[in-house]
Every structure is written in C-alpha cells, then in structure tokens.
Structure 1
Amino acid sequence: MTLTFNKRKFSSVQIIVFLYVASVLIASFLLWLPFFQLPGVHLSFIDALFTAASAISVTGLNVVTIHEVFNQRGVILLALLFQIGGIGIMTLGTFFWMMLGQRIGLEYRKWIATDHNRPTLAGLVELMRNILVLAVVIEVAGTILLGSYFLIAGYHQNWYEAFYYGFFAAVSAFTNAGFDIYGNSLHDFSHDYILQTIIMGLILCGAVGFPVLIELRNWLAHRRVGRRFTFSLFTKITTITFFLLIVLGTLLFFLFEREAFLQGKSWHESLFYSLFQSVTTRSAGLSTMDSSILTTPTVMVLSILMFIGASPSSVGGGIRTTTLFVLVVTVASYMRGRKDVKVFGRELVDEDIMRSFIVFFVAIVLVLTAVISLMWIEGLPLAPVLFEVCSAFGTTGLSMGITPELSSAGKLILILMMVIGRIGIINLLLFLKKDDYAVSYHYPKERIIIGQ
C-alpha cells in the first residue's frame, strides 16, 4: 500500500519568520536555565521569554536587571543573541554554511533576500560577506576603544573587566540592542562626552543601514585611486532622512526641555543630552537620563521618532526612514499637482509608493491596537503606554519604567510588537498572504468621493 502525503511548500517569508520565532523560543529556554543565572535567582519563564524576544529583536526593553539575574555566561549568551537580531539570522547562517564548504543555492538565496529586504537575488552572498566583515570590524574596533577608555578613565581597575564591559557595550550599541550591565543604562556617564561620542558612533553605524556602510566603503576606495563614484538613490534618501531626523529630534528635545529637565544646565550638557536622546531613538535604547521625568511634548516626539525607527537593511526596526521619505515626497508631489514622484533625478516606482503607505497604515493600526489593549489591561495613562509600545515596535528599548510592572498579558503584547518590529511590516503581511490566483475577469471601474 502506498501512502501519499500532501506537502505544503512554505514561502521564504514564512521560513524566516519561523526561524526568528524558533530562535526566541530556544533562547527563552536557555536563559531560563540556572546555568546562565546567578545563584539563588528565580526567573519566571515569561520574563525569560521577554528577555529573549528583546535580545533577538535588539530592542532592549527589560523586565529584569541584567547584572542582578545573569552570570557571565548569560551575559555572553545575550551578546550572541544580539548578533542574531542585529546582523540577521541569514547572515550568520550563510557564514556557517560557507564554513562547511556548502554551496549557496537558489532557495537559500531567497531566504537571504527576504531577511535583508532585497528586491533581487544578485550579489547576495557577497552582501552577506560584506555585512559580516563590517560587523566584526566595527564591533572589534568598538570593543578596543571602549575597553581601553574604561581602563584609562579608571572606570575599571583591570584590563579583563574593562574589556569585558567594553565588549558588551560595543556589541549592544552597534546592534542597537540597548542592553546594559551597569543597571541604569548610561546614566552614570551622562557627563562623559568621550564615552557618549563613541557609543553614538556605534549606534549610527548600526542604524544607518548596511548598504549605506558598504557604499561608503566603496566611495572611500574609489576616492583613494581618483575614480568617480555615484551613490545609489537608496543611500541618498536614507542618509538625508536619517540625519535630518537626528537634527530635528535634537532641536525639539532642547525646545521642549529647556525650561524643564535642561533648565540650569550648561550649553554642553544641554547639547549632549539633546543629541544623545535623539540619536538613541533611531533604535538604540541606551539613555543618559530618566525618560520618566520628560515633559509630555518630548515624550510624544520621542515616540514618533521611535515609531519611524532606523534605516532599511539595518539593525533597527520601525517603519524605517525610507518609508517616511516616500510618504512625504508623495504628498508634496500630489500638492503640486504631479502624478509621479521624482527625486534626485530619478522617478519612484509606483509599487514602492504603495508599499510605503501600506506599511504606514498597518503600523499605525498595530501600534494603536497595542496601546488601547495595554491601557485597558493595565489601567495606565496614554503617554507612558504609547512611549513603551513605540519603543517595542521601533525595537528601540527606551522606557518610562512601566515595562517591569506589566502583567503577563501586557508583556506578551510588547513581545509581539518587538518581534513584528524585527521582522518588518512587509514580511508580516507576506507571512499572512494567501496564495496568488489568476483573475480572468474585471469589474467596471467607478470613482468615489475621497477625503472631503
């Protein structure tokens, strides 16, 4: 007798989502083990799950204090989890696959393209190699800089401890994970501008996007030999939007806090407080101050910046900077009576415009649903709940202090938002998408009244 099995072929998006979900679950069980915890610590599974989701989504929201719960093995495990979420599960998978001498086939290339949001399959293996090399170089450089500085500045008395803390801080900053092992983020370093500058540099390298870093490296190589290099439209849009948001965030933070938190502070204190909080909203989550004492306008601005998030194909989450840019220029083009959208001598593709509006709409619905649900379940006011939800969705990790006090249901809502923020709205929609089917007919088209 012959048995026939109906095999369902999973799409590349579904496989990637399954891999990330499986990684979170496996990491949860590992962090739950006493082997990775300090003696006498009791960590509930929901808190282990939250910590794992926060680490792999490189968010940084915490329900426990890392240095009070995890031993050195647990801390190193967290740093490894940052790599899965930061540089991508397929980048690491490609590295190990190539180490085994295996060929990267077509199906595997589709998974890579999905994980890194690439429209084509060309050059993906080279892209993975470049990303891995860049990540290693930046993290090693960050570890050396921070470890040496911790030792020279006297923060740690021996080289092992200095470089141990430097390694974790460098990886956390570059991957925008936002975790710390000091217990209060960077509050103790609020007046150490050298340390803050190094951390901000690492944050920017991770959040600006790997394609931008690769093109910048290629530009430097071309410049050394006197050859002309043209940046792609993606890099131009990403870079301009990315740094404009940082400038805007800095100015608005200073404007709204100059008579509050920044009152009585010197110009350099005000500058670094404003600049660091703006930079960290790209997706980093490290902070030099207590976010719970900010004014409501500042909380709203930081929530919007976290909702926007980092650049595509970076370590960050949110709707991404290019989505915001496309939304703005499309509306501006419509206001000028144009039916197409032109930027930097190029015309945007209609499909990309539609995807941007879809991402924005779905993200708004998800965030509002999470905010309303948390307010109903936890009985908390709007501002801190919105701040926490946008932090989770943008995989940022800034907190007003309410996350550790949430119920299990509230924590599950934030876990879901963190995972969605990591895999992206487009992948979420494609994951839920039904199989395509051919349409052999069309209905008559009819105009409707829109907007007024």
Structure 2
Amino acid sequence: MKKGLEQFMTPFRMIISSYIFSMFLFSFLLWLPVSQQPGTNLSYLEALFTSVSAVSVTGLTMINVSESLSYTGVFFLALAMQIGGIGIMSLGTFVWMLLGRKINLSQRLVIMVDQNQYQFSGMVRLLRGILLLALGIELVGALILGTYFLQYFETAGQAYYQGAFAALSAFTNSGFDVTGQSLIPFANDYYVQFIVILLIFAGAIGFPVLIELREYFLGKHRGFTFSLFTKVTVTTYFLVFLAGVAGIWVLEGNSYYDGMAWHQQFFYSVFNSATARSGGLSTMDVSEFTLPTLLFMSMLMIIGASPSSVGGGIRTTTLAVMFLTIRSFALGKSDVKVFGRELHPEDKQKAFIVISFFLAGLFTSIILISAFEQGNNNIALVDIIFEASSAFGTCGLSTGVTPDLTSGSQILLMLMMFIGRVGILVFLFSVKRKETQSYYKYPTERMIIG
C-alpha cells in the first residue's frame, strides 16, 4: 500500500497536492472570526478566493483587505503570500533543515521540480540562497518604505506595518494591499513607485538570476560567466518591459494622459508596464484606460515573469525560445542559436506546449466566463479578457469586476490562478501516466502544415 502511494505521488503530484492543501488551509484560517474585522462576515467562497489568490501570488480579490481582515487575518494573508512566493516545497524543506533533519534524495527531487531546475546537485545550496535573498530583499524593502512612510502615517507602527506589507506584496508580486486603494495614494510619489518597481523586478526576474548576480558582484569565482538562462531571461524581461512602457505611453498619449505633464505620463507608463508583468499593484484605476491599452496590458500579463520566480504567465524564456525558433525557421535554419549556444530540441518543444496550452486554456476560460455572465450588463468582454489574463498570468490587476462575477466565473478564476502558479508543465506532468517504452514504430509520413 505504501509503495503504491509512493509510486502515485510523483514530485509533480506532490507539489500540486501541497498547493491545494495550503489553499484550503488558509481559506479556513481567513474564514475564522478572529481573522475578520468586527461586523464582517465573509462567506467561505470569499475566504477561499482570497486564499487561492494569495497562495498563487495573484492579487485578485472579492474583498477589501483593509476593511475586511483584522491584523490576525492580514498576518495569515501575508504568510500565504510568502509561502506562495518562495514556494511551498522550498519553505517546507527549510523548516525541515531547521529541525536538524537531513534532506533525502526524494525531497531534493521535489525541490528541483518546484524551482524548475534541471540539475539534481546543489538543491539545498540553491534553496538556502533563495531564502536568504528573498528575506533579505523583503527586509531592506520594508525598512526603506517603512521609514519613508513616517511622513504619511501618524504612528511609526502604522508606517512600518504599511511598509512591510507593501514590500512583501511587491517582491512576491502578489498585488495585495492594506491601504484599501493599492498604491493610488502614492500616484504622485515617484520615490515609492521606484522602490516598488525594483522589488517587483527582483521577484519577477527569477531566483537563479539573483543568485548569479550575487556571485558576480561578490567576486567569489574568478572568470565567472553568466549562464545562458540568465542572459536570455534578463534580455527578454527588459525588452518586453521597455516595449510595455512605449506601448502604453503611445496608446494613452491622447486619452488618459491627455493634459498630463511628461513626467506623469512617463511614470504611469513605467509603473503599469512593470506591474502588468505580474506585480498586480496599481497607481490608478486601470479601468479608465482605453480598450487598446487594456488589450495590450492583457498581452503583457500573458507573457508574465521569468521561470523560477514568483510570477506567472508563459514566462520570458518561453517567449524568447518561440521568437528565436520562428526567426531561425524564417532564415532557413534547423537549429536555434543564441549567445554562442544552441538550444536543446526539447526546450523548443516545451515552449510550444506551454504557449499552446496557455492560449487554449485562456480562450476556453474567456468563453466559459462569457457564458456565465450572460445577462450581466456590468461586465464587458474586455473586462472578461483582462480578468482571465490577470488570473492565468497570476498578475492581479483588475478593472474592478471580480466581486460582480457569478460564482461559476469566480471558481473558474481560482482554477486559472492555481494552474498559473504551479506552472503549466508541472500541471501537465502531474496528470500524465507513467512513461512506457515503445517497442515498435510506424512508418513516417509528412503532413501539410500552414
């Protein structure tokens, strides 16, 4: 019986089960009266939706956190965001290490899968580096923002409380806030926006990239060179970011930005490009943007962050591999080369699978939500597209329609947030059967494509 269970619980299914357990656990914790403000009576669906959104570090919510949750509830919410951001298996293994227990081979394998790594060795060292970097960045961000917030809040406790939560929310790209208005109160404070953008970048760029940057600046290894992953990830991430800034600025130049000073237009564009990738925080009501901009930002949310980060979406490397493959095909080349290296054929196949599954799932969800919301005149098609893209990309930006959706649509959004957080490949690998060796092959025949 035990052997059969071990065979069934593959590392992929272990990760899936851990996230599901955590989401239900925090839903019950948030549903407790002690977690709610006096006079608040959250339904279990609201508590579950908030829990799923926090563990998946998305930020879509049916409630106003500052008005609905007590300090105890905010603590549970922050804990769910932290666990979801760093990774359930990673934090669980860290606790195991603190208890003085050894990390066996099966646990190392689960960490490898949870962090999207290919090499089996060095998992514990990688985990230690991730935790120290994440907690260190969050602490520095909390101190900087908390100290700066002393001018905004009456007491130091309130200032550092707001600063700590904002830093956690920005780094984990979870998009929650305890101001009740996201970052709209700081729409004209470019210092706060700059710090938050840096924290969003740090969380979304990928933990392996942060670790390599730390090793480079500390100079521990002579002749240190960045990995292909880091080169492709950083290049793609910031090219898409710059394209987002330019796109939003151009699309809204004669609309929402009309009459604004250039620096206001610039910072609105910069912040929205950064947060649309996975951050979920906002300095304005995004529903005031025009239709082209909302669709453009939906595309940014679909692209998302980098692999092995706190963000979702198809991820930057998937976009890069897709673009490079198309470019090579157009040039009549069968191989794909970048930065003096040649991509593995399996990586090209994975990129195609991720994009295909993501787009198929996204369009299916848009159709289903549209069906659920028939007769709801408050929900436009662009709202559904934006909401679905935000959920699947684990971004958290919203035009404000989340509480107005039917229960069927909200449950579907929870499923999308869940798949977006665990990752499409992990989700697909968790449902596949055990591989069996094929002892024969059929004759090969060409297929007309395109």
Q: Distance in 2 between matches of 1:133 and 1:306?
A: 28
Partner residue in 2 for 1:106: 105
Within 1, Cα distance between the matches of 2:205 and 2:5?
41
Letter in 2 for 1:378: E
CA distance in 1, matches of 2:4, 2:269: 58
Structure 1 counterpart of 2:235, from 235, 240, 245: 240
* Structure 1 equivalent of residue 74 of structure 2: 75
Residues 149-298 of structure 1 mapped to structure 2, 5 A cutoff: 149-151=148-150, 154-222=151-219, 227-298=222-293
TM-score by length of 2: 0.97
Cα distance per residue 1:263-292 (max 9 Å; x no partner): 000010000000000000121100111111
1:227 deviates by 3.5
How far apart are the structure 2 equivalents of 1:264 and 1:73?
44
Rate the CA distance shift 1:156–1:333 in 2: closer, same or farther, 3 A: same
2: CA distance, partners of 1:8 / 1:205: 36
Deviations 1:131-153 (A, max 9, x none): 000011101100100000001xx
Amino acid of the structure 1 residue aligned with 2:80: L
Q: Which amino acid aligns with 1:65?
A: N
Instruction: Name the residue aligned to 1:348.
Output: 343
Q: Structure 1, unaligned stretches of length 5 or more?
A: none
What SS is found at the alignment partner of 1:50? helix
SS at match of 1:281: helix
Deviation by residue 1:215-246 (Cα, 9 ceiling, x = unmatched): 11111012xx7943210000000000000111
Give the direction of change, closer, same or farther, for the CA distance of 1:203–1:6 in structure 2 (3 Å limit).
Answer: closer
2:57–2:394 CA contact under 8 A, matched in 1: yes
State the distance in 2 between where 1:282 and 1:227 align: 34
What residue number does 2:63 align with?
A: 64
Deviation larger for 37-46 or 3-12? 3-12
CA distance in 2, matches of 1:141, 1:96: 23
Q: How far apart, CA to CA, are the structure 1 residues paired with 2:221 and 2:431?
A: 49
Question: 1:22 and 2:21 equivalent?
Answer: yes
Deviations 1:242-265 (A, max 9, x none): 001110000000000000000000
Deviation at 1:24, TM superposition (A): 0.2
DSSP-derived class of the 1:60 partner: coil
What is the alpha-carbon distance in structure 2 between the residues aligned to residue 4 and residue 406 of structure 1?
Answer: 43
> In the aligned structure 2, how far is the partner of 1:163 from the partner of 1:4?
49
CA-CA distance at 1:4 after TM superposition: 10
May I ask how many residue pairs the two structures share in their alignment? 445
* Cα separation, partners in 2 of 1:29 and 1:448, compared to 1, 3 Å: same
Structure 2 unaligned segments of length 5 or more: list them.
none
User: Following TM superposition, by how much is the alpha carbon of 1:6 offset from its aligned partner in structure 2, in angstroms?
Assistant: 5.3
Q: Which residue of 2 aligns with 1:400?
A: 399
Q: Any residues of structure 2 matched to 1:289-328 within 5 Å, and which?
A: 289-328=284-323
CA distance in 2 between counterparts of 1:55 and 1:7 reads 30
Cα distance, 1:4–1:46 mapped onto 2, change above 3 Å: closer
The alignment yields a C-alpha RMSD, in angstroms, of 1.3
- The structural deviation recorded for 1:5 is 9.0
